Structure formats: C-alpha cells, structure tokens
Structure 1
Amino acid sequence: MSRTCAQHLLQLLEAYGVDTAFGIPGVHTIELYRALGDSAIRHVTPRHEQGAGFMADGYARASGRPAACFIITGPGMTNIATAMGQALADSVPMLVISSVNRRDTLGRGQGRLHELPSQQQTLAGVSVFSHTLHDPSALPEILARAFAIFRGARPGPVHIEIPIDLFDAPVAESSPRPIEVFPPAPAPAATARAAEWLTSAERPLLLLGGGCVAAPDAARALVERLQAPTLTTINAKGVLGLDHPQDLGATASLPAARRLAADADVILAIGTELGETDYDLVFDEGFRLGGRLIRVDIDPQQLGRNHAADLALVADAGETLTALLDALPGERRDDGRAAQVRRELALADDLELAPYAPLYATLRATLPEAILVGDSTGPVYAGNFLASLPAPRRWFNAATGYGTLGYGLPASLGAALACPERPVVALVGDGGLQFVIGELATARDLDHPVAVVIWNNHGYDEIRRYMAMHEVPQLGVDLTAPDFAGLAAAYACRYRKVDGPATLGEALGQLNAARSPLLIEVDAEAWMAAMR
C-alpha cells in the first residue's frame, strides 16, 4: 500500500492540527491540489500570495495556531516574502509549503518556468529555516522540526519546498505520529535568584512582550503580586486585561515612562526583544534601564541583544511567570508609581493622540469584544498608545517589527477565520489599502462580516508629515484615493462614509446586520477638524 507525497503531507498537517491553508494554485502545485480535494483542510484563495502570508499571520496571532500557505514556485515565493518578513520580525508561526522545479533541473539555470537560481536561499533570510525536500520519506522529520520550533522555541515562518516531480511520488503507508513538544522551563537556581532580586527591589519594573500572550492569567498575577508598574509592548496589549492599574501600555518611547525605566532598581523583561519599534519610536536610542536587568526569552540569542542582562533565563514566558509566582512571597503594597506616570503621560490630552481617542472609545462602546487589526496608519500608531483591550490576541498590526504596508485587510481576514465568533475590524489607510485592494474579493468570499475602517487622508500622511518635519520636499506622498463607494459596490460590499464618532458608531452597529464586509470610509480631514 502507498500514497503520494502530497497525500502524505496533508495527512501529516492534519495530524498536527493544521485546519486551514491559504494559497493560489498553479501548474506546479496541481498534484498538491489533487490531494487537497480529499483532505479536511479548509482552503482559502487570496488574490495575491502576499495576502496569503498576511492571512496566515493574522490567523496565527488571533488563535495561537499556525496555518499553512500553499505557494507556487518562483514569483509566488517572492510575492509572499514580505509577509514572511513581518511574521519573522514578530515571532509569528507560519508554515509555507511551496513547489520548486524538478530535482534534476535545480541550480542549472535552464530558464525553466518560475526558475530562481536558488529559491531555498532566497527565502532563507525571511524564515526560521528553509528546506528542500529530496526524499518524501523525510517529510515526518522535517515537519516535526517545524512544529518543535512553533511550540518549543521562538516561532516564525518555516519554508519547505517540494520539487514538482515529488508531489505524486509514492510513499509507503504509515500512521502519522506527531511529536508532543513542551517548551523549556526556567532553571530553579535562576528562578530563585530572580525572585530574590525582585523581593528586595524598592522600585521594580516589569516589561512584558508578545511572548506572554499565551499566559495572561500568570502575567496578571505576577504584576499584582509585585504591584509593579508594567510596560506592555504592542504585541502584548491586553495581556493584563482592560484598564489594569499597573499597565502603562506601549509608552516606553515617552518621557515619563523613560524616567520610570531609568529610575527602576530591578527590571524584569519577559518575552520581549527590547527592540526599537516598542521602546524607541522616536529613534533617539533614549530608552535606558538604570537597575539590574532580568531577561527571560525562549531564544538564547535574543538575550544578548539590545540591552545586556544581569541575569538571563532561557525559558518559556508562561513557565517562568508560574515559577516566579511560586517563588515570590506575598503581595507588596502599591507605591503609586504607575498612577503617577499615567498622570504625567496624560495621553488623552496629548495634541497628537487626542483626536483619535474618540475613535477607540467608539470601538470599545460598540464592539467591545472585537479583534482590531491594523496597518501602518495614523489611527493605528495612536491606538498603540491609547487602546486598552480585555484580553491578548485582540490587537495586532504592522506598525511594529518589520513595518510593512498592506497588512491590515488580509490579516483581519485570517483573524476572522480563526475566531469566527468575534467581530473583526481592520484599521487601514487609503494608501496601505491600495497595496492589497484585491483582497476585498477574498473578504466577500468568506461570508464573514469584517469591518474595514478606511482612514482616508489622500496619501501617505505619516510620511508626508515626517518629510515636513525634516524639511524634505513632499514628493510621492499625495495620492488620488479610489471612489470607495464604487469600489464597495464592485466587490459586493456594504459601504458607509463617516466624519465623526456618532456616525462611526452607527456604522459599526450595522456590522452584523449582514454577512458581507462593511467598508467604512472616514473622512480624515473632517474628523481631525471636528476633534481639535
């Protein structure tokens, strides 16, 4: 008894719990799609391979589970590379399965269809690892390696390319045996020392990153045990719940939070790379840690980057949070530092942020359980400071890490597929939306009422203002926006145009009235004029 390599691949993916694949079929993946017809894996067709990658990214961030991407040789892989780069920067699991030319032609430069000099090397730079399959019997080993990374190490995209002459190659029948992976726990001696430092600290500070999103209860319990002010990164937003008194959010780039960090005598940083897009958004390298730094990360290489640790623990964030809770004594008194910093920050009164506060108040009042997915656009930059979420995995965007445009819409569709019980809102700019405008057709196909809130400022306004600030001629940033009402009609989507919180709330209130996507165009100029 035998089956094809493609059938074997799909059976293994099902055994590992993969239930969704994003892809565009091509002549090089025909045999994979032949096998897919008999599989339980749901297939979603985006309108561009970059969209496939962003959808898989949003699926994983919303659910914590990886999805697969089925991508053709050559242009399909270069198209998805940007999405893989974003996922790599933000430690998002993604399994990219691609075709590649026949084994006997690889590296020969014969001008074959979709040929690259080395597709594997091209994609290695945007993946945790990239592997060319030469023997179908090796598939269980390669997938075991991928899922060991997804579940027990710092995750990211994994690329497996299969030569087109192997998809229908016979493989001996066997029962899939996925391995069960447990992430590393902290060393007891390191836990004891960290607990000792934190117990004796007079001014402790916590820095919680995206590595903590799988353990929100333990994170909240530790913060409350220590009664310590906490900076949560963009990808950790919601990990302490709604409006937690110790949660100062992603404000590490602001003066009051920086003074707090410089004054802390012991800092515990868990699951955060301490990178520029979370701690230095003003790009002046002004974030300083004055006390002893305890760093916890599942990736040992990360512990030596950006800020040198005085004590470094290679361990899973959730395991460490639990171990520290067991090692620490009873709850401390709140010394009021978080409240003081919050008063100094005065985010609601900030001239740059205040006009966006009613937007988030409206979202919170109208769709309190929504997943908010953002592109690189003004409201999202502001929301990274302003938005408070009831749980993790409800806020993610491309304004951090790799910082690509075109992320918001397709990633929101992945989130909607992963969590169909929740409303999903994409926050996008008119410029960024035009990178992936064809994915409105995918949104229509999904039969799920995603709201696409378009901040229409007729161009790349963030870059426009940055140019003005640095006295650079404002070239290439003024765009003619599409007729969004006509666009919505063309894609069989609903449409509303709004100019303030009241009309936005009315529009969002209609989200679940039908299954089709809802495009909400915000006149940015009118909104800002009304809010100032």
Structure 2
Amino acid sequence: MTVLGPPKKPRGRLRAGLRDRLKPSTDEATAARDPQLLSGHQALAQGLKARGITHVYSLPGNPVYATIAAFADAGLVTVGCRTQNGAMNAALAHNYRAGGLAAVALCSPAPGLTNSLTGLNDAYANQWPLILIAGGEEESSWNFQLSDAARMAAPFAKAVFAVKDRPQLSADLDAAVALAGTGPCGSVCLEVAPAALNGRASDVLAASTDTAKTTTPELQHIPAADRPVILLGEGLRWTAGDTAPLRAALEATGLPVLASPMARGILPDDHRQNVFAAGPDVLTACDQILLCGAQADWRFAGIPAALARLDPIEIPSEGASLVAQLKALPRRPQHQTWMQAMQQRQAEIMAQIAARASQPNDVARIIELSAALDQSLKTLCPDGVVSVIEGGLALSWGHLVWSTKQPFTRLTPGQNGTMGVGIPQGLGAALADPDQTVVALVGDVGFGFAAAELETALCHKACLIVVVADNSAISGRAFQDRWMAPGSHDTLRFTPSVNYADIARGWGVPAQQIAGPAALLDALSAALTAQKTQAGPQVISVTLSADRPGPASEPDEPPNRLTRL
C-alpha cells in the first residue's frame, strides 16, 4: 500500500501554527528525563535489530544524525557512505548476498531522498528487498528543504509509509519489513517525521510474533511440449533456499536453461544445459517458456518475439514447490535432440565471441579484458569469486566471457542500465560476506560516478578489487562518431590522460595502472596478496589501447542477435 498525504503547501508560506510549534514542549522535556521511555531513534534501532537487520548504509543529515547514532549504540554496523545512491546500492548488494533483508538505507529529507530515488527504483523494478528510512522535514524549518517525500517516492516503491507520530512507528515498521521481503519483493520507503523520531514511548518495537502460514501450492498441469526452455531469474534468491535440489531437478529435465545475469551459477556456465549465449536462438525456436523466479524482459535476448507467439508459464518459485514441479514436467523423446541442437549453438556462438576479441574495435577490447579477467581468476581463485559487472560495454559483452561458477555470486544493475553501481555494490557484497573475494568490473564512466565510495570501503576494510576498463569514452572512443559529425568537440570521449589509479590513490586506496589485459594476472595476484596483509580495497586501472585502428562504429546489435544484456 502507498500512504500519500495531501500535496504540500506552496513554498514561501508559513504553515499554520508554526509559531506554536516553535515553542518548547513541556511534555517532551519531561519524557526526555524518563529513561524508561525510548525515543523514535532508539526504538527504530532496537526494532530493526530485532527484525534481523545488521547493517545500515547512509549519508545522513538532519534530522537523522541522532537516528544513525542510536543505530550505532544498538550494535548495528553503520556504514557512512559518500553518496546517497551509493548507500542504496551497497544495501541492495548486501541483501542479495545475504539472501534476505539484512541491511537498510537511511537518508535525510528532500535532496537526500531525491538522491536515493534511483536506487529505490532499481530495487522496485528488479523486485529486490530494500527499506529506505527517510527522515521527514523539520516542522520549524522555515521552508528549508520542504518536499512531498511520499509522493516523490511512491512511483519507485511497493509502499510508502508517512510516519507522523511515535505510536505509528511500530506497526509501520512491521508492515514495511513484511512488504519488502515478501513476493514479489521490492523497495519500501519509511518516511519518519521528526515528531515520530523525537517522541517517546515505552514500546521497543519488538519483532512481530505473527507467523504467516505457508501452504504448498498444488502442482500445475503443464502441457507437454517438444521444445521447452526454462528461464531462471534472480527472484529465486529470495525463495529457492538450498540450490542443490534445484540443480538436481533442472538436470533431471534435460532441457535448455537460460538464466538472467544474476541467476547464473545455479547451473555453472560450463554446464551442458546452460545455453546463456544462445538465448536468441533458443527463444526463437522454443514452443514453451517456463519462468522460474524470472521476469520475461529484455535481459533474455529474443524474448519480445517469443512473447508475441507464446504465453509463458510461471512456476511457483518457492524451493520445494519449484523442485516438485520441475520433477513433474512431461518428458518427450524430442527433448534430447532439442537439447543437443542448442548445445551446439551455444558452442558456436562462444567460439564467435572468442574470435571477435582479435578485431580492432572497442567491443573486442572489452571481450579481451573480460576473458583475461576470467582466466586470471580461475587461476588465482579456483573456487570462484563474487563478481560485479556494471552497465555499458562491460555488461553488454563482458558477462558473456566472464564465467560464473557458484549460485547468486554475480551482481549487475539488473533490469535497469544504471551506471555507478559497481563500486557500491562491491562494497555491500564485501561487507555482507567478508570471506569471499569480490571483484568489480567497472567502466571509466561508472568509476567517475562512484569513486568516492572507495574511501568508504577503505574505512570499513572491505576487501574489494575494482578493475577499471579505461577506454577513455562512453562505449569506446569510436562511439562518438556514430552520432556526431567528424571533428566535433569531444562530448562522448574523455581525456585519455586521466589516470584512474591516481584518483584511487587520492582516496588512500592502493592502485595499479596497467597497459592492457596481458598484465592482468600479475596485477590481480599482487592485489590479492596485498589484501592478505592489509584488508581493504584495491584498484587496477586497465588502459585499453585507443590507438589501434578500427571501424568508426559498432553494429547496432551484436552478431548472431546477441542482444546486449
């Protein structure tokens, strides 16, 4: 549900009764001296802790300075970020790695909230659980930072709660936690007015004792088909539980499996049923689409044409029900031939991508870098890493050659092409699971968005390795020529002399600059070795040669209809 108040009065007017609100409250002063009464700041802290929250990511401001102090006093890990959007993406990644709601974000009103809306929308669009606690405006602010937070946040959230007074806080926090973490998951905004934060009451906001009754859905009747395909999505992160039975059930079907980038690893990339690169061919030829925790959207290349002729069948994604339904799928002799054909197509396309790495263009450089990253990490971290890939060329092409070995160990912007998420997502992933190696591949654009969060990672000793693909432009040096006249001022290209390693060092972070992917193995080895003696982030800036001759533009679509994911 969305709780919306009436539109705010125009700026420039004093609100009715403002002078009365400026007078000190005798009741509040008395309550403040009673140690048995908790402020809203304290109650929120204890309530979040009781509900399993361990981390809070925030760039705070008035009136939530006291809130984040109360969070720290209650034993929550408070992560002071450099940007509000960085805090949102770090909390998102933390929850994804934790497999549930373990972190929240906290922001101040007006610009603090508007700076958080992109992350709020990413959580909503991708159905990832997240709670944003936004401080409400001061009633006596004399029109400073007046904003209608509820209406601003409403389009980007499952629900917005406008908490006006202290007694509301307990019920609204319970409802926010329930809504964010139940299917489909999503973002919830809890706007807490200063009266609710500063008011006092005796309740501690203990976790609700209500337990939802779980029912096992009956098996669906799924008609037999000659060429079915199973689509896996990251929604399984919140519902599937142990993935070992799911993998066994998928293997028993013998069917082609396509996974969204963040759902890769349930079947390793080298598994015979995993045909992620052949997605367009699979979806063109299939006669049945089975959705498992997935949204049928652009991340599955070729899906629009498939949806024009087929209605997808959604299988309940809860662990035991999903496994049972997969085991009950009808089997046909044609399935083996269908699987073999798509296996062969997968191998052909992967060979074409590998051959493309030798071509003289910007896409080839990203493929070459991603392949070097994949091979280097297989050597140095044979058990796999948590990988983060940002938008742009790295996400369009790099994910095809940087393999995934373990379930739910890849992070991306999801359904959106949001830039600047790589470093904060790596931060959240590293703090959620300090024992895992986290490596983020970001472009020079994304690095510019979020480099300040390197200092946050340094402060919290988050072991994150950031690999910067420095091609000195948006989508490569040649990209500008597709849109602008020859000789135009550099609008989509950057100064080649920018040294991203030097920028990282300016934040106090150890960094290396290397000339091309060939030196990546040694650079990664040095970074990993350094983290063993001194925990914290490391940056490797890889200069992708801008002087190799190449075509003025790339094709609108990758070859063989490999739509950019």
What SS is found at the alignment partner of 2:198?
Answer: coil
Larger radius of gyration: 2
Residue 293 of structure 1, aligned match among 307, 312, 322: 312
What SS is found at the alignment partner of 1:425?
Answer: strand
User: Pairwise mapping of residues 123-142 of structure 1 onto structure 2 (< 5 A)?
Assistant: 123-142=153-172
The offset of 1:136, in angstroms, is 2.0
2:537 counterpart of 1:517: yes
The offset of 1:63, in angstroms, is 1.7
Residue 99 of structure 2, aligned match among 37, 40, 64: 64
Aligned pair in 2 of structure 1 residues 375, 128: CA closer, same or farther (>3 Å)? Answer: same
Residue 504 of structure 2, aligned match among 485, 488, 499: 488
**Letter of the 1:82 counterpart:** T
**Letter of the 1:112 counterpart:** N
Does the 8 Å contact 2:480/2:492 carry over to 1?
Answer: no
Aligned pair in 2 of structure 1 residues 472, 240: CA closer, same or farther (>3 Å)? Answer: farther
1: CA distance, partners of 2:154 / 2:318: 27
1:114 matched residue in structure 2: 145
Does the 8 Å contact 1:87/1:156 carry over to 2?
Answer: yes
The offset of 1:358, in angstroms, is 2.7
Residue 344 of structure 1, aligned match among 331, 335, 348: 348
Does the 8 Å contact 1:264/1:289 carry over to 2?
Answer: no
Does the 8 Å contact 2:253/2:327 carry over to 1?
Answer: no
What SS is found at the alignment partner of 1:339?
Answer: helix
Residue 414 of structure 1, aligned match among 416, 428, 437: 428
Aligned pair in 2 of structure 1 residues 261, 180: CA closer, same or farther (>3 Å)? Answer: farther
Aligned pair in 2 of structure 1 residues 262, 34: CA closer, same or farther (>3 Å)? Answer: closer
The offset of 1:201, in angstroms, is 2.5
Once the two structures are superposed, what CA deviation does each residue of 1:345-393 show, in whole Å capped at 9, x if it has no partner?
2343345565242332223322342111122232332232223212222
User: Pairwise mapping of residues 12-51 of structure 1 onto structure 2 (< 5 A)?
Assistant: 12-51=47-86
Aligned pair in 2 of structure 1 residues 180, 322: CA closer, same or farther (>3 Å)? Answer: farther
Aligned pair in 2 of structure 1 residues 162, 523: CA closer, same or farther (>3 Å)? Answer: same
1:461 matched residue in structure 2: 475
User: Pairwise mapping of residues 57-456 of structure 1 onto structure 2 (< 5 A)?
Assistant: 57-66=92-101, 67-102=103-138, 111-116=142-147, 118-174=148-204, 176-179=206-209, 187-188=217-218, 191-194=219-222, 197=223, 200-214=224-238, 215=240, 216-249=243-276, 251=277, 257-279=279-301, 285-288=304-307, 293-296=312-315, 315-325=316-326, 327-328=328-329, 334-335=336-337, 336-346=340-350, 347-350=353-356, 352=363, 354-355=367-368, 356-368=370-382, 369-398=384-413, 400-456=414-470
Aligned pair in 2 of structure 1 residues 471, 218: CA closer, same or farther (>3 Å)? Answer: farther
TM-score normalized by the length of structure 1: 0.84
What SS is found at the alignment partner of 1:239?
Answer: coil
TM-score normalized by the length of structure 2: 0.79
What SS is found at the alignment partner of 1:510?
Answer: helix
Aligned pair in 2 of structure 1 residues 482, 223: CA closer, same or farther (>3 Å)? Answer: same
Does the 8 Å contact 2:458/2:509 carry over to 1?
Answer: yes
The offset of 1:442, in angstroms, is 0.9
What SS is found at the alignment partner of 2:226?
Answer: coil
RMSD: 2.8
1: CA distance, partners of 2:152 / 2:287: 45
2: CA distance, partners of 1:489 / 1:69: 28
Does the 8 Å contact 2:423/2:450 carry over to 1?
Answer: yes
1:303 matched residue in structure 2: none
2: CA distance, partners of 1:319 / 1:528: 54
The offset of 1:322, in angstroms, is 2.2
What SS is found at the alignment partner of 2:295?
Answer: coil
The offset of 1:526, in angstroms, is 6.8
Report the identity percentage: 25
The offset of 1:97, in angstroms, is 0.7
2: CA distance, partners of 1:286 / 1:149: 34
What SS is found at the alignment partner of 1:388?
Answer: coil
2: CA distance, partners of 1:230 / 1:183: 32
In the alignment of these two chains, the number of paired residues is 490
Unaligned runs of 5+ in 1: 297-314
Q: Which 10-residue stretch deviates more, 85-94 or 402-411? A: 85-94
1: CA distance, partners of 2:267 / 2:212: 24
2: CA distance, partners of 1:221 / 1:367: 25
